[in-house]
């Protein structure tokens, strides 16, 4: 057995999820002295990712592209190019350039994981980006009326309350590197992102969930600011955590990081038109369940509500530093 060497000075942090929220958070975290590994869902089946997944038999590249772009140490123009989405052209319309580059690199290298690794090197990514599994998975949802909805992109559109989600195949193997990163982590962050279609698909990969449960790390849940129509309608913060607990079978988290800042009424009204509203912070329920809560004004509004990446990363870094001091 290989002897453990001296621990690195930079804390090792694993971030799990997918979607825009994860990318926003990573833009802040990459400025901290942290050794970051991002483990990203491969359940996406909509839009450009879904087309490439089906036509090229590859894992969906969209969430991976977003994370690569967020962690890349490149000029803003290159980030804009990677996220550029073609609006016209037979076969091109709807595709992002970054997705096509990932598809090309997968074909060149013969392997999606190698493609991600090589692009990480080319784009000077600050950290490591790993798909949760080396193959695409199909996400199913059992609704409270007993019906089954298949497909990550179709689940929120069903208009029914979700009882549980599950993967096909149900015993999908994670990347060994992802499992090892979790085992070696000093901190594990889960969220923000779509609860049932971005966060839980990672934790439904059996060995990933087991590794998180067993890891000697401080574990944090970063809750969404707004509910998501078709997924978390009327959910409180504790409802999010309850869903994770019911799927994994364990209360995973030491800390819950939440927004308690006011959201302007005109912004709430804009989101209400699409059926979304602020996630209610039910502090007493969280504390009675044993969670430590970090609450602050964590939102910014430009075109959309987003987490304040600087403030969020500050809180995360403080928690990680405190954990490292206690471990010594």
State the DSSP string of 28-51. Answer: HHTTSS-EEEEEE-----SHHHHH
pLDDT of residue 94: 87
Q: Please provide the distance, in angstroms rounded to a whole number, between the alpha carbons at the two ends of the chain.
A: 24
Place of tokens 């590794």: 211
Give Cα 69 distance to the centre of its chain: 14
Q: Which residues have a Cβ under 8 Å from the Cβ of 210 and sit 6 or more positions away?
A: none
Positive or negative torsion for Cα 219, 241, 128, 319: negative
Helices (H), the chain: 19-29, 47-56, 62-71, 76-83, 97-109, 112-122, 176-184, 200-203, 206-214, 237-248, 265-272, 283-288, 309-327
pLDDT of residue 67: 93
Q: Which residues have a Cβ under 8 Å from the Cβ of 242 and sit 6 or more positions away?
A: none
Instruction: Give yes or no for a contact between 171 and 286, defined as CB atoms under 8 angstroms apart.
Output: no
Q: Which residues have a Cβ under 8 Å from the Cβ of 278 and sit 6 or more positions away?
A: 225, 226, 227, 259, 263, 268
Give Cα 275 distance to the centre of its chain: 22
Positive or negative torsion for Cα 263, 256, 129, 157: negative
CATH code for the part of the protein at 12-41+172-327: 3.40.50.10680
Local confidence pLDDT in tens for the 328 residues of the chain: 444 444 457 999 999 987 788 899 999 999 999 999 999 988 888 888 888 988 888 888 889 999 999 999 887 788 888 889 999 888 888 899 999 999 999 999 999 999 999 999 999 999 999 999 888 899 999 999 999 999 999 999 998 999 999 999 888 999 999 999 999 999 999 999 999 999 999 999 989 999 999 999 999 999 999 999 999 999 999 999 999 999 999 899 999 999 999 999 999 999 999 999 999 999 999 999 999 999 999 999 888 899 999 999 999 999 999 999 987 7
Six token digits for residue 127: 């950290």
Instruction: Give yes or no for a contact between 301 and 267, defined as CB atoms under 8 angstroms apart.
Output: yes
Q: Which residues have a Cβ under 8 Å from the Cβ of 97 and sit 6 or more positions away?
A: 81, 82, 83, 84, 85, 86
Q: What is the pTM of this model?
A: 0.92
- Which residues share a beta bridge with 293? 256
The domain segmentation of the chain, as residue ranges, is 12-41+172-327, 45-131
Residue 237's closest CA among 197, 288, 275, 161? 288
Instruction: Give yes or no for a contact between 219 and 188, defined as CB atoms under 8 angstroms apart.
Output: yes
pLDDT of residue 7: 47
Give Cα 295 distance to the centre of its chain: 20
d(CA 58, CA 191): 25
d(CA 88, CA 134): 31
pLDDT of residue 49: 86
pLDDT of residue 216: 96
Residue 91 zone, left/alpha/beta (φ > 0; ψ -120 to 50; rest)? left
């Amino acid at each position: 057995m290989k002897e453990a060497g001296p621990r690195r000075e930079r804390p090792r942090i694993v971030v799990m999820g997918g979607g825009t929220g994860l990318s926003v958070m990573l833009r802040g975290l990459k400025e901290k002295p942290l050794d970051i590994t991002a483990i990203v869902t491969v359940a996406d089946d909509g839009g450009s990712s879904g087309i490439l997944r089906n036509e090229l038999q590859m894992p969906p590249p969209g969430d991976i592209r977003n994370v690569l772009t967020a962690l890349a140490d490149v000029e803003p123009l290159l980030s804009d190019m990677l996220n550029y989405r073609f609006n016209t052209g037979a076969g091109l319309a709807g595709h992002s350039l970054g997705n096509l580059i990932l598809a090309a690199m997968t074909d060149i290298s013969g392997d999606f994981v190698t493609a991600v690794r090589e692009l990480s090197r080319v784009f000077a990514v600050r950290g490591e980006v790993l798909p949760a599994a080396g193959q695409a998975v199909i996400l199913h949802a059992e609704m409270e009326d007993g019906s089954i909805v298949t497909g990550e992109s179709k689940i929120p559109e069903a208009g029914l309350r979700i009882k549980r989600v599950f993967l096909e195949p149900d015993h999908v193997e994670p990347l060994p590197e992802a499992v090892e990163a979790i085992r070696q982590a000093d901190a594990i962050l889960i969220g923000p992102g779509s609860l049932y279609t971005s966060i839980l698909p990672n934790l439904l990969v059996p060995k990933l969930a087991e590794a998180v449960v067993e890891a000697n790390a401080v574990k944090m849940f970063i809750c969404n600011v707004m509910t998501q129509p078709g997924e978390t309608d009327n959910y409180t913060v504790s409802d999010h955590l309850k869903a994770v607990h019911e799927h994994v079978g364990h209360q995973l988290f030491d800390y819950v990081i939440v927004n308690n800042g006011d959201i302007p009424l005109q912004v709430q009204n804009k989101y209400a038109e699409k059926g979304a509203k602020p996630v209610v912070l039910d502090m007493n329920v969280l504390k009675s369940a044993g969670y430590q809560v970090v609450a602050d004004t964590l939102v910014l509004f430009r075109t959309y509500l987003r987490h304040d990446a600087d403030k969020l990363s500050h809180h995360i870094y403080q928690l990680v530093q405190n954990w490292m001091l206690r471990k010594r």
